[in-house]
Amino acid sequence: MGLERAEEARATMLELFPQGFEEVDRPEGIELAAYTDAAGEERVWAFFGGARAADVEGGWEDKWRAFHRPARVGRLWVGPPWERPDPGPLAVVVDPGRAFGTGSHPTTLLCLAALQELEPSSLLDVGCGSGVLSIAAALLGYAPVLGVDVEEPSIEATRVNAAANGVAVDARLVAPDEPLPHADVAVANISLESVEALPTRIVSGTLITSGYFASEHPALAGYEHVDRRTRDGWACDLHRRPG
């Protein structure tokens, strides 16, 4: 399976099974597996045109947790509530629930690193998901922090996770094309198409973008490209408005 096809399949599996799925490298390609019932199996057939089902032994609920592993990025530790944070770094404890992200995806790690290289100020998290970037920004001293998303489960997850981490983060539901609130810094870990549409919706002076492959280079009208970092085939870019 090619890189683009694999990523499309992952995105579909995230929509079908937001609670998590397993990815295994096989000699013949990548295998994506979810613990589900007959209804979930039917959804897989509908989207992929085929699937292989097998009974699993007891205790699969605990195995699901193994899919979400903690990560360390600079001054931050990010992980789910069933893992013990490392001593020393700022801990971002996030339960993904029905929203995307516990912080271990390369694009999230890249954004977390980029946030630590800027002077904290007001921040807008576009596509906040489970709130990882919003919470991390608040812990790093950014304020006020606002997360926006087009999915209600993401807003709920961000609010719950922010409260659990004891930080002040606002979260609001927005329409896909509406103008976004002002902040000095905006971070957007979303699709390439959505990233390239941001200049018509946003007025932030500094913009961190990710969510796309390293082979892709977003063109943002009105912004200058300042820096790029990559990880495992993914990219994160820093842009600033001139002047």
Which residues, other chains included, contact 171 with Cβ-Cβ below 8 Å and sequence gap of 6+?
A: 128, 131, 134, 146, 147, 148, 149, 154, 155, 158, 159, 162
Main-chain dihedrals φ then ψ at residue 205, nearest 5 degrees: -75, -30
SS3 161: helix
The structural domains of the chain, with segments of one domain joined by +, span 3-64, 68-240
Tell me if 44 sits within 8 A of 14, measured CB to CB.
Answer: no
Amino acid 22: pLDDT: 65
Which residues, other chains included, contact 74 with Cβ-Cβ below 8 Å and sequence gap of 6+?
A: 89, 112, 113, 116
All residue ranges of the chain with pLDDT < 70 are 1-6, 14-29, 35-47, 49-68, 96-102
Instruction: Classify strands 185-189 and 206-213 as parallel, antiparallel or unpaired.
Output: parallel
Amino acid 1: pLDDT: 47
Q: Is 101 buried (19+), middle (13-18) or exposed (0-12) by CB count in 10 A?
A: buried
Amino acid 31: pLDDT: 74
At the second CATH level, the architecture of 68-240 is: 3-Layer(aba) Sandwich (3.40)
Amino acid 8: pLDDT: 74
Taking the model in full, what pTM does it have? 0.77
Paired tokens of 55? 């009974």
Paired tokens of 111? 């954004």
